[in-house]
Amino acid sequence: MALKGKIDDFGLVEIFQLISQQQRSGVLTIQSSGKKADVIFANGMISKVSPFYLSPKRDPFGDTGVKARLVTEEELQRALEIHNENLKNLEEVFLDINLLNINQIQKINNYLLVETLYDVLQWKSGDYEFNLKEIEHDKRLSTIIATEHILLDILRMIDEEPELYQKIPHFGIVFQKNPLDEKTLAGIDELTFNEKIIYRLVDGIKTTQDIIYQSVLGRYNTLKALHSLLEGHFIKKIATKKEPYLKPPIKKNCWQYVFYGIFPILIVLLMLWLRLLLSPSLSDDIASYKKVFAKTQFQKIKNALNVYFLKTGNYPVSLEDLVYAGLIKKDDLTYPGGVKYGYHLQADGGYRLEDAPL
C-alpha cells in the first residue's frame, strides 16, 4: 500500500516535510513528463536519491563516475558485469575492486542527491508515490541528511541561481586562467575550497558543463565559484561551444514576476465585474462560489488523508477518524448545504473520495 497523489494537488515540499515530521522510512517515487526519480528516506531523513532521468539507459551512479573521470567506461562495464552477476550494490562493487574509495563514493552520491532535488523541487506537475518500507542505510556509502536542512539549501540555490546565470548564461562557455599579477597571486590563497577546485579545472578547453561534471560539486556550487573567479579576475571567458550543451533555464526578472502575478488577478477581477454587470441575479455567482469552496474543502480532506496515512501507515475507516485525529473539523466533512462527502476504504487499503456535484 502506498501514499499516492498529484504534484499539482499536494506540493513536493509539503510531502517531504510530512515524511520528515512523521519520521517515516520508504521510497518516494516522483514522475513528471517522462522523468523519474526515487528519493529514499530513513526515519524521515534523506539517505539516497536515484535520478533515472539523468541517464535513462545507464546507472546514474556509474554514469556520474565516468563523467567525473573518476572511472573509465571500461571500468564501469567491468563493475556492471560483477553487479549483474551477484546483484551486489554497484557502489560496493566499485569499493571491492578498488576503483573508488569511500570518499569518492560519498561525493558522487551527494552530487546526485543535490542535483536531483534541485530539479525535482521545480517540477510543477506529475505524480508521486510513497511506499513505506524498512531502509538499510550504509553509512559508508552515503551521508544521511536532515530533510529540512537540504530543503532549505536547495530552495536557497533556486532563489540565487538567476544572478549567476547573468554572468554564465550557457553551459558551453569555456574559461581560461588570467596571468597572475601581484594582486591575484596574493588572492589565490584566499580562495575557498570550492573555488580552488574549480580554478584547477579551468584550462581553456573544458566547458562549464565539463567543469560541473568533473568537479562533482553540482551546478550551483560550480557556477558560484566561476562567478567569484570572474569577479576576482582570476579567469576570463574565451569561447562558447553551443552543442551539445544546453542553455540554463531562462529566469524572469522581478518585474516580470510582478506582471505575471498581477495580470491574472486583473483578468479575474474584470470577469467578476462583467458578470455582476450582466447577470440579472447573484444566484449564478453564489453557485460558482460554492463550487470553489467545495473544491478547496475536498483538497483539504485529501491532505488530511495523506497526513493520517503517514502517521498510522493506513487510511482511516471513515472520514470521522480524521476529525478524531484532530486533522480537520467536523464541518469540513460536508459540502455547502450539508451533503456529506462520499468516502470508501477499498480492499487493497487505498481509498475513493467522491466529489459529488453541487
Pairing of strands 173-177, 35-42: unpaired
Model confidence at 227: pLDDT above 50: yes
266 vs 273: CA distance, rounded Å? 10
Residue among 54, 14, 16, 61 at smallest CA distance from 37: 54
Short-list 68, 102, 65, CA closest to 80? 65
Domain spans of the chain?
2-160, 168-240, 282-354
Provide the pLDDT for residue 336.
63
Give the pLDDT band of residue 209 (cuts 50, 70, 90).
very high
Backbone angles phi, psi at 294, to 5 degrees: -65, -40
pLDDT of 276-291, one tens digit each? 555 555 445 445 544 5
Percent of the chain's residues with pLDDT above 70: 81
- 241/121: higher pLDDT: 121
For the segment(s) 168-240, the CATH number from 3.40.50.150, 3.40.50.11260, 3.30.930.10, 1.10.10.10 is: 1.10.10.10
Q: Output DSSP code: residue 332.
A: G
For the entire predicted model, the pTM comes to: 0.72
Q: What is the 8-class DSSP label of residue 330?
A: G
Confidence of residue 351 (pLDDT cuts 50, 70, 90): confident
